[in-house]
A and B are shown apart, each in its own frame.
Chain A
Amino acid sequence: MKIIRPKGPEIFDIELEKDLLAKNKGLAKENRRRFDRSNILAVDIMGSIGSGKTSLIKAILKKLGMGKKAAVIAGDLTTTIDAERIEAEGARVIQVNTGKECHLDAHLIRRAIERMKLDGVKVLFIENVGNLICPGEFPLGAHKRLVVTSVTEGPYTVIKHPYIFREADVIVLNKMDMAKPMKVNISKLERDARQVNPRASFIKTNALSGRGIPKIIEALGLKS
Chain B
Amino acid sequence: MHEFSISDEIVRNVLDAVKENNGKKVLSIQLEIGELALLNVEQVTFWIHELFKGSVAEGAKVKVKTVKARIQCESCGYKGGIGLDRQDPFQHVIPYSCPKCHSFQINIEKGRECTLRKIQAVR
- A and B are interacting partners: yes
Which of A's residues lie within 8 Å of B, judged by CB? 1, 3, 10-22, 100-103, 131, 133-134, 136-138, 162-163, 166, 195-198
- Docked CA distance A21–B121 (Å): 24
Known interface pairs A19-B115, A21-B113, A133-B1. Does A14 touch B13 (Cβ–Cβ under 8 Å)? Answer: no
Binding site for A on B (CB under 8 A): 1-2, 4-6, 9-10, 13, 17-18, 21, 23, 27, 37-38, 94, 96-97, 104-105, 112-123
Q: Is the CB of B104 within 8 A of A12?
A: no
10 A–B contacts from the bound complex (CB under 8 Å): A10-B122, A11-B123, A14-B18, A18-B116, A19-B115, A20-B13, A21-B112, A101-B2, A163-B38, A163-B94
Which residues in B have their C-beta under 8 angstroms from that of A137? 2, 37-38, 112
Report how far A158 CA is from B100 CA in the complex, Å.
22
Q: Distance in Å from the Cβ of B44 to the closest Cβ of chain A?
A: 10
Distance of A105 from chain B, by nearest CB (Å): 8
Q: Please report the C-alpha to C-alpha distance between residue A136 and residue B4 in the assembled complex, in whole angstroms.
A: 17
> How distant is the Cα of A13 from the Cα of B4 in the complex, in angstroms?
25
Majority-rule SS of A interface residues: mixed
State the CA gap A11–B116 with chains docked (Å).
19
Given the known A-B contacts A163-B96, A195-B104, A197-B104, are A12 and B1 also in contact in the complex, defined by CB atoms under 8 Å? no
The 3 lowest CB-CB distance pairs between A and B, nearest first, are A18-B116, A14-B119, A134-B2
What's the minimum C-beta distance from A114 to chain B, rounded to whole angstroms? 21
Which of A12, A163, A195 is the most central at the interface, judged by chain B CB atoms within 10 Å of its CB?
A12
Is the pair A21, B2 in contact by a Cβ cutoff of 8 Å? no
Q: Is B96 a contact partner of A162 (Cβ separation < 8 A)? A: yes
A11→B120 contact, CB < 8 A: yes
A-B contact sample (7 more), CB < 8 A, given A19-B115, A198-B105: A16-B118, A16-B119, A19-B114, A20-B6, A22-B113, A100-B5, A137-B112
CA distance A113 to B105 in the complex (A): 34
- A15, B114: Cβ atoms under 8 Å? no
**In the complex with contacts A10-B122, A11-B27, A14-B121, A166-B37 CB distance below 8 A:** no
Interface centre among A22, A137, A197 (most CB of B within 10 A): A137
* B1 touching A21, Cβ below 8 Å: no
Q: Are B113 and A14 in contact (CB under 8 A)?
A: no
Structural contact, A3 and B5, CB atoms closer than 8 A: no
Contact in complex: B1, A131 (CB < 8 Å)? yes
